Amino acid sequence: MTDSSNRRAPWGQLVDPTLLSPSNEQLEPREDYEDLHLQLNQAESLESQQSRFIDCFIELGRSIDWHGSRSRFRNCTIKIGRIGSLDLTGTVMNMTSIEDCRIGFANFAGCEAQDVLFRNCTFDALDLTGAKFKRVWFENCTVEDLDLRDFEGNSVDFSGLDFAKVQGLQNLRNSKINETQLMQIASGLAMLAGIKVD
């Protein structure tokens, strides 16, 4: 049973799965899902491109991949145990949390996100190329390879994202990082500014 107690985000209360209709139906492309607690324990591959999710709690135990490009998520929670690749390119997200995930390659290229929380997520690679994030938070997350090329952020809190490698450092402007992260990227920032460090 999912513990729905004290589930809050910076913008307010997260969707409560106990108030939703339970469902274990397989996701399909170009469908509307509303007021559902989708429980997908294990699936080889998920296809939900161009679908719309409103007031949904999506639980996925394990999958090889999930193709959900150009979909819309509003007031949703996505919990993925372990997945090889997650394709959410070109999606629109609002008041949505992504939690407790272990993802090989997560592709959010071209995604437009506002009031979104990543919590307890581990990524091998996280692609935010061309994404537009406003009021997005990372809490207790790690990533090996973070791609921020052409990324646009406004009030994005990366301080809870432990990263090893970053592409597109200049696009961290208007975002928040912590002191440890600053030390990690100091040499890259100096190079961008044309500063020689002896």
Mean pLDDT of 70-76: 98
Mean pLDDT of 177-198: 72
Taking the domain 8-192, which CATH number applies?
Answer: 2.160.20
Mean pLDDT of 76-90: 94
Q: Is 112 left (phi over 0), alpha (psi -120 to 50) or beta?
A: beta
Q: Which residue has the higher pLDDT, 197 or 20?
A: 20
- Does position 186 have pLDDT exceeding 70, yes or no? no
| Alpha carbons 100 and 111: distance in angstroms, whole number | 20
Ordered by start, the domain boundaries in the chain are 8-192
Q: What is the mean pLDDT of the chain?
A: 90
- Does position 6 have pLDDT exceeding 70, yes or no? no
pTM: 0.90
Close Cβ partners of 176 (under 8 Å, ≥ 6 residues apart): 155, 156, 157, 158, 159
Residue with tokens 């044309």: 194
- Calculate the alpha carbon distances from 184 to 14, 37, 149, 158, 178 in Å: 33, 40, 18, 13, 10
Q: Which residue has the higher pLDDT, 2 or 75?
A: 75
* Interval 149-160: pLDDT, tens: 999 999 999 999
pLDDT at 4: 55
Residue 194's pLDDT band (boundaries 50, 70, 90)?
Answer: low
DSSP state of 20: S
pLDDT at 1: 43
